[in-house]
Amino acid sequence: MKRIVVNDKMQKGYCYTLTAPPGKKFAPDFKPELSPKEMLELGVFGGEYMTDCQKEFPASWFRHAKLSPEKKNPKLNFFGVNASQPLSVWRAKGWINEEHDPRGWFQWYCRYYLGRRIPGYDEVQIKRWKNIRRHAAQIEKHCRRGDMACRRRQKQALLHWAYDSRKL
């Protein structure tokens, strides 16, 4: 078991323990199609998401990541569009757990991928991940397979949740 101490712009002194091997021992009903590294390389969140907390995660995740340290740049997203709501919206809707993951679902996923497990909380996040799948059904219904121009915002949003929407 490894203990991680986080000190970045959004968390000071937050500690967690890795109890599972990286990328393994996921809940049986949680089968993301992309790793955090793959997501960052494809281009997610306009490149601004992980710019101040790289020390917490493996350096390999950032070697080819599309990042924008100054401000969000939707052109860095795989589909070249903005598909994110501001963090303030997520907070207002109660979707952010300030104690554990003040940046939201992707931060949870990165830490879960590394091996952090929090019973109860993980199940909530996995349920949210499952619920976003409805967007894939809409893409499948309204777009020709492989049409990268069809419903780009929905496809980009799915990438933000570790679904490989390039295959839709």
Burial label, 111 (beta-carbon count in 10 A; 0-12, 13-18, 19+): buried
- Residue 167 phi/psi, 5-degree rounding, is -85, -5
Judge whether residue 50 has pLDDT over 90. Answer: no
β-bridge mates for residue 74, sequence order: none
pLDDT(49) > 90: no
Task: Report residue 135 as tokens.
Answer: 């967007």
Q: Where do the structural domains in the chain lie, given as residue ranges?
A: 2-167
CB of 102 within 8 A of CB of 155? no
Each residue of 106-160: pLDDT tens digit? 999 999 999 999 999 999 999 999 999 988 999 999 999 989 999 999 999 999 9
Say if residues 109 and 116 touch (Cβ distance below 8 Å). no
DSSP 10-24: S-EEEEEEE-S-TT-
